[in-house]
Amino acid sequence: METAQPPTNDILASNLLFGSLALTVTLALIRHLLMPTSNQASNALFAGGLAVVALLYSGLFYAIRRGHYWAKVMLLMLFVLALLGSLISYRTTFSAKNMDLLNVVSTLIHYGTRVGALFLLFKKPRAQLN
């Protein structure tokens, strides 16, 4: 019995999102190591929180890769909430402390790939356009 393949755009968007996640996690770890904290508890909390978030996003990206519509909608809702959160707290988001090169690059990668992936995920295939 043959199983239906998810659309190519879902796989492409998933690849884009997984790559973005790997790069964003790497940049977050580098940034955290370059700005040392005063105690080990905050290091463990940071690493644990980063691992949990990366694991949850990986599950969401895998569901997108499998072609689940609910995962696409969830990604859209999370993107809108993150964007609204950044805009509402713009004083913190755009403060001098957060404007270092690694954070700016990480933020641009994060939002840029999400916009590209969402475009791919919600774009109608050419066969349905007629």
Q: What are the domain boundaries of the chain?
A: 8-123
52-94: pLDDT as tens digits = 999 999 999 999 999 999 999 999 999 999 889 888 877 776 6
Q: What is the DSSP letter of 3?
A: P
Contact between residue 61 and residue 17 where contact means Cβ atoms under 8 Å apart: yes
23-37: pLDDT as tens digits = 989 988 888 887 766
Which residues, in sequence order, are CB contacts of 28 under 8 Å at separation 6+?
50, 106
Give the pTM: 0.80
For 37-67, letters b (16+ CB in 10 Å) and e give: eeeeeeeeeeeeeeeeeeeebeebbebbbeb
Range in 4-13, 25-34, 71-80, 99-108 the model is least confident about: 99-108
